[in-house]
Amino acid sequence: MKFLYAIIICTFSFLFLNAQDIEVLLKEAARLEMVPDEKASFYKYKEVLKLNPSNILALTKCSELCSRIGQREFANPKLRGDYYKWAVKYADAALNIAPDNSEANCVMAIALGRSSMTKSGRDKIDNAREIKKYLDIALKNDPHNFKAWHVLGRWQYEISNLNAVERGIVKVFYGGMPQVTLQQSINSFERARSLRPEFILNYLEMAKAYKENNQKSKAIAYLQQMLSLPIQTEDDAAIKEKGKILLKKWQ
């Protein structure tokens, strides 16, 4: 009986210490992301997954970070593609555990969106349909998911700007796609802004949508507002530079 009691005590002690380790790692991963040092944050979240492979937060953050890190690998297309594959893999693992989880669906949409940048024709359309499916689930389960609203805005912008060939593919293989307008894209970006006013990337994409919708003054105002915001991610400095270039063109 004493032996059994000792085993139970050891088991609970191990679980308690393991939970403590995971909590420390998650806090450190979040801190590193805010530094920002996204690769270091990614590796820290991977340490969490070694202790608990089903940790949803670590899985979704690994996916999101892979999507962000991958897009900066301009000099190494193969490594860029690998990061995008890992982003899909982590998102898929999260969805297998929690298929209705808003963040899991959102990061899958992001991962597919990143990989769509290298696709064209039917592959691009296939990805677009999948992205919308995941966004619908993400927003159904959390209407306050600002990243999902932002990605939906980008999806609506891209669909509203499909070229004639791509629209032909949609019609032939899928019988068409729901009508999407620039105003819908703008509405989604505005919803993301209302939920996270400091989200820098959202201002850049929203400005493009306003400009495309013949609302240049609004586009310029948002770019100017974006430039006043503090940098939060490793992408923000480059995003601001793109905004400065657009301002010079539009003013």
Q: Where are the domains of the chain?
A: 22-101, 119-196, 203-251
- Cβ(115)–Cβ(88) under 8 Å? yes
- Per the structure block, which two tokens stand in for 105? 């669906």
Per-residue pLDDT of the chain (251 residues; tens, 9 = 90+): 554 444 444 444 444 446 678 999 999 999 999 999 999 999 999 999 999 999 999 999 999 999 999 999 989 999 999 999 999 999 999 999 999 999 999 999 999 998 765 555 666 777 888 999 999 999 999 999 999 999 999 999 998 877 655 666 665 445 556 678 999 999 999 999 999 999 999 999 999 999 999 999 999 999 999 999 999 999 999 999 999 999 999 98
pTM of the full predicted structure?
Answer: 0.87
- Cβ(134)–Cβ(109) under 8 Å? yes
Question: C-alpha 103: how far from its chain's center?
Answer: 9
> For the chain, what is the largest distance between any 2 Cα atoms, rounded to a whole number of angstroms?
81
State which fold the 22-101 domain adopts: 1.25.40
- Cβ(69)–Cβ(111) under 8 Å? no
Question: C-alpha 229: how far from its chain's center?
Answer: 20
Geometric angle at alpha carbon 133, from 29 and 184, rounded to 5°: 95
117: phi then psi, degrees, rounded to nearest 5: -60, -25
